[in-house]
Amino acid sequence: MQVTGSQFTATAAIVGNDLSTFPDFPAEIRAPAGTLYGVSGFQINFSSHDVFTPGDAPDVLVAMNPAALKTNLKDLRAGGLLIINTGAFNGQNLKKAGYEASPLEDGSLSSYRLLPIDVTKNTLAAVEGSGLSTKEAGRCKNFWTLGLMYWIYGRPLEPTLRWIDDKFKKRPDIAKANVQALKAGHAYGETIELAHERYEVPPAPVQKGEYCNISGNTATAWGFIAATELGDIDLVLGSYPITPASDVLHELSRHKQFPITTVQAEDEIAAVCAAIGASYAGSLGITSTSGPGLALKMEAIGLAVSVELPLVVLDVQRAGPSTGMPTKTEQADLLQAVYGRNSEAPVCVLAASTPGDCFYMAIEACRIAVKYMTPVILLTDGYLANGAEPWKIPSIDSLPRFPVKFRTEPDGFHPFFRDPTTLARNWAVPGTPGLTHRIGGIEKHHDSGHISYDPKNHEKMCRTRAAKIAGIASDIPEQKIAVGEDHGKLLVLGWGSTYGAIHEAVHRCRSRGLDVSHAHLNYINPMPKNLGDLLRRFDRVLVPELNLGQLVQLIRSQYLVPAQSLPKIQGQPFRIDELEEKIRQAMES
Amino acid sequence: MSQSVPPQLTKKDFETDQDVRWCPGCGDYSILANVQKLMPELGIARENIVWVSGIGCSSRFPYYMNTYGFHTIHGRAPAFATGIKVANPDLSVWLATGDGDGLSIGGNQLMHCLRRNVDVKILLFNNRIYGLTKGQYSPTSEIGKVTKSTPFGSADYPIDPCGFALGAGASFVSRTVDVQAKEFLAVLRRAAVHKGGTFTEIYQNCNVFNDDAFVSFTDKSTKEDRQIFVEHGKPLLFGADRKKGLRVDPRTLALEVVTIGENGVTEQDVLVHDEKNATIATMLARMPFPRFPVAMGVLYAEERPSYERTVTAQHERAKERFGKGSLEKLLHSGETWTV
């Protein structure tokens, strides 16, 4: 199902639609087919105008079995087109999904435009003679359905045909059957009287340029790769596979012609430690993980704070606590990222707001890490990681350059000698003559780097490390307003992956005459210098986030403004209509 | 690393200006002195040597070595060392750990560093006690050990560090004693030139919390009879008059102690040490004391490609195949379209 979805996405992008996707799948690798918990879904919103979210209520739902129908029907808008594979609506599957009677027969689907098709049977007929087993042949039904959808939406088959050829290079029999199924589905749409259902979605008017379709995890990995060139530095990624972050490890491991080494470590702790070791030796160490992994890495991140080495930690957040719901999205690691270490151990925390933005924030994380000799935690989440959007490929000249400088001059050297502006210590790497020195997690004297238990020195060092992070505020963009005026009745302040939903909801409220603006934070620690002033120019501040209210705590405590929380914690992104309603309520109350 | 021939260094060049803070009489002093003595022999410039450590008494070691040094967190030094080696394979990386740091909290990191054959020279100071936390039993303490945390005796069986290293697939495993300078230097010289990761267990006396833990086989009067110093290609003989030897009992496939001249045993019957034979090494490592002597020296050594060299080679091959990475090419590599 995920393959079908991503093929439809790629084709929509190629014909120039703006789009946003929401893959929603179970954590189990091959969850039992037909069960409610085994339903794998893929939602796409594509349009001839700008799209910011995967959409609240789809116009078309394809249900391949009763469980899929039961799980997703509530989302389909009334009057929407409902395509059902009747071949899978047998007694056993109905029972697994908890239906007492077939919904095809009891009239419960009467508010939708129902299109029942025996996809299974049609697919088997289409691939007859392919030599595939019945089981293998049955698997072609997703391509049959994709062919039908291509007909309905007037999409070209070629991109998917090319993909099938490439993907099944080693199994030409399967490739051929999938091609037959795709074409048969397409022909089916043409043959039966489906013409009245045809949708035409013209290209969206977008900025001129070259585009590709990109997911958050790929964009993040590409941002790290870009950093090697922009910072003129080698990268070492230490990582332990974890959902939904593993694709960053996969993507970086593919590109060994770049100065990027990937170490699949034995555990989350070793992954971050190897990254810090690499930073010590003069590469930029990166580690990628999700919430439970971040918890395991915290002691080592504290060491990087103490020895002041650059480190980038990517946390692709997922629903917790503990194992939680690994494939579902959430934003509840914010306070863990900001505060989750022993003692006073401040780090820089950034958040990406769209799949494409992951690219720029990954570069920014690397820039800050090496310039300030500090760990930077970059927060994305499952929704950004797996969701895709068309992305305007940037020109490399437009990206920031930050060439790294190592200390080589022995005169006046000590390991904690600082740049007076950034407060970053000098980076002296093994192999450099005349600079041999020892560093470690024990408190060190501010002026020599030697071990020190002096009480006043400890306070000085704690304050210096804090001032260094706070000072990054002078090196980041001022907070901008994404939608609306920079003052007024209500500011909706978001962070991370909620950008699209908030953006669209605020737009809609404004078009109904409400005095509301949207601002979106990319910099969580430190926050932009002007944020306090900005917040105070609004009567009220509303903070929607996919947790029980974490950013709102930081906002209240740092700026003493009575910000109001709008939490959601269901493993699902915000819907535009629910935000719209809450915004209206907030303005009325 | 390209550099001119380093000037002839001395032991003094490897001493730092830091006060050494181990307890007076600690075995760590002898280890430090002997390592500082060994370093100049290696012909490696000081700036190309890195000492890494975790937490514990042994892990203070880097502060006292005038090289690059990184005192990290508890148990994880092998992971840091792995990162250092992949970032710069030309550095000579040494690691000081202990029985707690390496085998208790850091067992996993040690195992995987050895398994990967990362070219790191690991020295595990085994004093069979927790020193820095003031005297609790460790994973190498004998069962029944009475300490502050086990007033009724410890209930768990100890692990043998060399057996662990062999089980993990280390490419070099050796054992020595803090105060036996000659053997200590012989073993570490071998480790230094071994291409790949090395593991050396050093019996180290903690005179405060576990004094005389090894005296039953290190005392001058009994040492010859209770230790066997193994050397590749030489018969496994020991004893003051070198009349005792080890041979394999063909009925049990286990080692047995024999005496030359008794029961018709001649020197030909004694097993010849083969350091490339992991089975012999494992049997030697795990001989129960005092029924058997304690095996010292290089128990196992077989070179194979190290982790960081294999990783580097992959980069080279990728560059040959795809050309040097181009960001421009990467960003335009997928399905793209122009508006």
Which pLDDT score is estimated for A196?
A: 46
Is B262 an interface residue toward A (CB < 8 Å)? no
Is B279 an interface residue toward A (CB < 8 Å)? no
Q: Supply φ then ψ for residue A189, to 5 degrees.
A: -60, -35
> Side-chain half-sphere of A460: how many Cα atoms within 13 Å?
12
Nearest to A393 among B70, B109, B336 (CB): B336
Question: What residues of chain B lie within 8 A of the CB of A222, using their CB?
Answer: 330-331
The span from the CA of A53 to the CA of A75, in Å, is 14
Please report where in the chains the tokens 């379709």 appear, as a residue. A213
Q: Do B112 and A265 touch (CB under 8 A)?
A: yes
Question: What residues of chain B lie within 8 A of the CB of A225, using their CB?
Answer: 325, 327, 330
Which long-range CB contacts under 8 A does A105-112 form with residues at least 24 apart? A109/A73, A109/A82, A111/A78, A111/A79, A112/A76, A112/A78, A112/A79, A112/A80, A112/A81, A112/A82
Q: What is the pLDDT of residues B75-112, one digit of tens each?
A: 999 999 999 999 999 999 999 999 999 999 999 999 99
Is B310 an interface residue toward A (CB < 8 Å)? no
Q: Do B337 and A211 touch (CB under 8 A)?
A: yes
Question: What residues of chain B lie within 8 A of the CB of A278, using their CB?
Answer: 83-84, 86-87
Residue of B nearest to A208 (CA): B339
Q: How far is A157 from chain B (nearest CA, A)?
A: 14
**Contact by Cβ (8 Å): A272, A287:** yes
Residue of A nearest to B53 (CA): A440
Q: Do A270 and B1 touch (CB under 8 A)?
A: no
**Contact by Cβ (8 Å): A303, A276:** yes
Q: Do B62 and A438 touch (CB under 8 A)?
A: yes
Question: What residues of chain A lie within 8 A of the CB of B5, using their CB?
Answer: none
Q: How far is B184 from chain A (nearest CA, A)?
A: 25
Best to test chain B binding among A263, A267, A312 (most B CBs inside 10 Å) = A263
Res. B145: pLDDT tops 80: yes
Which pLDDT score is estimated for A199?
A: 64
The span from the CA of B123 to the CA of B190, in Å, is 13
Is B41 an interface residue toward A (CB < 8 Å)? no
Q: Do B48 and A430 touch (CB under 8 A)?
A: yes
Using the CB atoms, write b or e for B104-129: b if 16+ within 10 Å. Answer: bbbbbbbbbbbbbbbbbbbbbbbbbb
Q: Do B88 and A431 touch (CB under 8 A)?
A: yes
**Contact by Cβ (8 Å): B93, B123:** no
Nearest to B79 among A228, A270, A396 (CB): A270
Q: Supply φ then ψ for residue A275, to 5 degrees.
A: -65, -45
Is B81 an interface residue toward A (CB < 8 Å)? yes
The closest alpha carbon to A254, from A217, A291, A284, A292, belongs to: A217
Best to test chain B binding among A273, A397, A427, A435 (most B CBs inside 10 Å) = A273
Residue of A nearest to B112 (CA): A266
Q: Do A440 and B69 touch (CB under 8 A)?
A: yes
**Contact by Cβ (8 Å): A369, A301:** no
Query: With 0-12 CB in 10 A as exposed, 13-18 as middle and 19+ as buried, what is A140?
Result: buried
Res. B297: pLDDT tops 60: yes
DSSP B302-332: -----HHHHHHHHHHHHHHHH-S--HHHHHT
Which pLDDT score is estimated for A194?
A: 66
Nearest to A436 among B3, B66, B109 (CB): B66
Farthest CA pair distance, chain B: 94
Q: Do A280 and B80 touch (CB under 8 A)?
A: yes
Q: Do A280 and B311 touch (CB under 8 A)?
A: no
Which pLDDT score is estimated for B260?
A: 97
Residue B6 — very low, low, confident or very high, per pLDDT cuts 50/70/90?
A: low
Name residue A158's beta-bridge partners. none
Which pLDDT score is estimated for A50?
A: 82
Q: How far is B243 from chain A (nearest CA, A)?
A: 47
Residue of B nearest to A433 (CA): B47
Question: What residues of chain B lie within 8 A of the CB of A16, using their CB?
Answer: 337, 339
Question: What residues of chain A lie within 8 A of the CB of B315, using their CB?
Answer: 256-257, 259, 261
DSSP 8-state code for residue A206: -
Cα–Cα distances (Å) from A315 to A359, A528, A539, in that order, read 14, 21, 34
Is B88 an interface residue toward A (CB < 8 Å)? yes
**Contact by Cβ (8 Å): A568, A574:** yes
Is B332 an interface residue toward A (CB < 8 Å)? yes
Which pLDDT score is estimated for A368?
A: 98
Question: What residues of chain B lie within 8 A of the CB of A256, using their CB?
Answer: 314-315, 317-319
Who wins on pLDDT, A449 or B116? Answer: B116
Q: Do A441 and B73 touch (CB under 8 A)?
A: yes
Residue of A nearest to B82 (CA): A274
Question: What residues of chain A lie within 8 A of the CB of B321, using their CB?
Answer: 257
> Side-chain half-sphere of A279: how many Cα atoms within 13 Å?
36
**Contact by Cβ (8 Å): B204, B127:** yes
Number of Cβ within 10 Å of residue A424's Cβ equals: 17
Cα–Cα distances (Å) from B145 to A83, B139, B160, in that order, read 72, 11, 16
Q: Do A434 and B47 touch (CB under 8 A)?
A: yes
CA angle A566, A572, A577 (to 5 degrees): 60
pLDDT in tens, chain A (589 residues): 888 888 888 888 888 888 888 888 877 767 777 888 888 888 888 888 888 888 888 888 999 999 999 999 988 887 788 999 999 999 899 999 999 889 988 888 888 888 899 999 999 999 988 888 888 888 899 999 999 988 888 888 999 999 999 889 998 999 999 999 999 999 988 887 665 455 666 677 678 899 898 999 999 999 999 999 999 999 999 999 999 999 999 999 999 999 999 999 999 999 999 999 999 999 999 999 999 999 999 999 999 999 999 999 999 999 999 999 999 999 999 999 999 999 999 999 999 999 999 999 999 999 999 999 999 999 999 999 999 888 999 999 999 999 999 999 999 999 999 999 999 999 999 999 999 999 999 999 998 889 999 999 999 999 999 999 999 999 999 999 999 999 999 999 999 999 999 999 999 999 999 999 999 999 999 999 999 999 999 999 999 999 999 999 999 999 999 999 999 999 999 999 999 999 999 998 7
A·B CB contacts under 8 A:
208
The span from the CA of A537 to the CA of A518, in Å, is 13
Which pLDDT score is estimated for B1?
A: 47
Query: How large a percentage of chain B has pLDDT more than 90?
Result: 95
The number of helix segments (H) and strand segments (E) in chain B equals: 11, 12
The span from the CA of B329 to the CA of B199, in Å, is 44
Question: What residues of chain A lie within 8 A of the CB of B317, using their CB?
Answer: 256
Cβ-proximal residues to A556 (8 Å cutoff; 6+ apart), any chain: A562, A563
Please report where in the chains the tokens 């430090």 appear, as a residue. B32
Residue of B nearest to A218 (CA): B331
Is B324 an interface residue toward A (CB < 8 Å)? yes
For chain B, the distance separating the N- and C-terminal CA atoms, rounded to the nearest angstrom, is: 49
User: Does the CA dihedral A179-A184-A185-A187 come out positive or negative?
Assistant: positive
Nearest to A281 among B71, B87, B334 (CB): B87
Nearest to A281 among B16, B84, B328 (CB): B84
Q: How far is B158 from chain A (nearest CA, A)?
A: 24
Residue of A nearest to B89 (CA): A281
User: Does the CA dihedral A404-A408-A411-A413 come out positive or negative?
Assistant: positive
Q: Do B68 and A222 touch (CB under 8 A)?
A: no
Name residue A284's beta-bridge partners. A235
Using the CB atoms, write b or e for A526-565: b if 16+ within 10 Å. Answer: bbbeebeebbeebebbbbbbbbebbbbbbbbeebebebbb
Q: What is the pLDDT of residues B213-240, one digit of tens each?
A: 999 999 999 999 999 999 999 999 999 9
Is B309 an interface residue toward A (CB < 8 Å)? no
Cβ-proximal residues to A6 (8 Å cutoff; 6+ apart), any chain: A21, A23, A42, A388
